[in-house]
Amino acid sequence: MQTPTLTPDDFDWLEDALSTMAQAGLQAPDWSYCEGFLTALECTRREVADDEVWPVLFGEGFRPMAHMEFVWRWRRRRAEIAAALDAPVDDLNDPRALQPQVLDLRGLWHGDPEHRGDVRLEELPCWGQQWAEGFLTVVGSWPEEWAEPRDSEWAAMLADALGSIERLSQPDRDPPTVSLLEGVDTPTISEQRQIDFDDAIWSAYDLRRLWKSLGPRQAPLRTPSVPGRNDLCPCGSGMKYKKCHGR
């Protein structure tokens, strides 16, 4: 039986759960960041187990058994992202395509002035920025799995894809022209930002294909070193190798 996809209510629950974790002292990020983090996990050269993930994402204080409902939804979303990245799509409007759950916090700021508090607009991340930061956290946390391939064509593909995601991690410096939120007339996103966001999503597809094509890293074959003829024999006899096991 196929597991149902996460609903808007599920994502609201995840945001609330992360907020509760942060209030309890964990270094819990927003869900937009987690979306990028999860996407990068599914683009990493080897499968990274949850036990490796939790300390990076939440710090050493996270206890999965105390947050099983969060873990359950996390794993469901991870499976959804993997399926989307493996789907044969050529248009991001395809319902099978990856659709990151990313909030426009600046749009929400304009749309809900009563709950702004002391937060200034320029303090809020731009649309897509947290997603990209979450993705790049995975790249930086498991660098051996993101090492440049020897093949120049593959290496160029890796650099180009990561460059697209790094651009999205920067602030949106172009004039805003678009509002993504219903009922919010003030534009908060530039046209270039939308292009950069789509480029980053396609880059995730490229990275998934890249590492699946290359396969897991192979540990280098290590051959035991042979002592020189005048070195002491490794057997511990105290004799020179040439007069002991080197004969």
Q: Tokens at residue 217, please?
A: 């890293």
Q: What amino acid is encoded at 59 in this protein?
A: G
* Pick from 3, 245, 17, 37: nearest CA to 136: 37
> In this predicted model, what pLDDT tens digit does every residue of 14-68 receive, in sequence order?
999 999 999 999 999 999 999 999 999 999 999 999 999 999 999 999 999 999 9
Average pLDDT, the chain: 90
Cα radius of gyration rounded to whole Å, the chain:
24
Name the pTM for this structure.
0.85
Length of the chain as a residue count: 247
- pLDDT, one tens digit per residue, over 116-161 is 888 899 999 999 999 999 999 999 999 999 999 999 999 999 999 9
Say what the pLDDT of residue 223 is.
45
Mean pLDDT confidence for 203-224:
77
Q: 227: Cβ–Cβ under 8 A, 6 or more apart, which residues?
A: 233, 234, 241, 246
Q: Which residue has the higher pLDDT, 124 or 219?
A: 124
Check whether 91 has a pLDDT greater than 50.
Answer: yes
Amino acid identity of 170?
Q
